[in-house]
Amino acid sequence: MTTKPTAKELAGLLARLILGGVFIYAGVIKALAPAEEFAYAIESYRLLTPKLALWSAYVFPWIELYAGLLLAAGIFTRFSALFNGAMLLFFEFMLAQAWLRGLPITSCGCFGSGGGNSITREFIQNIGLIVLAWAAFRYGSSMSADRLVGPHDA
């Protein structure tokens, strides 16, 4: 006999799907574009050398893509939510240090080279995504692929 999902379980599922979708989209957009475009955005934060920025531009989109896929599918759900949340906190750090240093960031690089949102808007948007990561971590396991493997105490 199956039970009707609770509001928290539905919220966890929705959070998982939205946040996973955001990371899948961000990863695909950057993976399909020339790495030099994303590397330019990374370099604008002035924390990495051009060589490390280019290396990051090749690797990071795939990390985002796979992290998003794991979360959306509900595979290693709690770890995936935690990992995606940690990436968002890292992004917040990057935005905050750029703002505090007065760096002229024209594109955060979040969704490829397009888009020119302000640092403030990106910062606020990421806070919303961090809330989704928390909801996915806390309530996203009940309706996940993890459940097919065995019981999970959410």
Reply yes or no on whether the pLDDT at 69 is more than 60. yes
Reply yes or no on whether the pLDDT at 52 is more than 90. yes
pLDDT digits (tens, 9 = 90+) for 134-150: 999 999 888 788 777 76
pLDDT digits (tens, 9 = 90+) for 75-117: 999 999 999 999 999 999 999 999 999 988 877 888 776 666 7
How far is 5 from 12, CA to CA, in rounded Å?
Answer: 11
- Nearest-10 Cα torsion for 27, 32, 36, 39: 0
How far is 100 from 92, CA to CA, in rounded Å?
Answer: 12
| pLDDT value of position 116 | 65
Which of 120, 116, 124, 125 has its CA nearest to residue 41? 116
Full-model pTM: 0.89
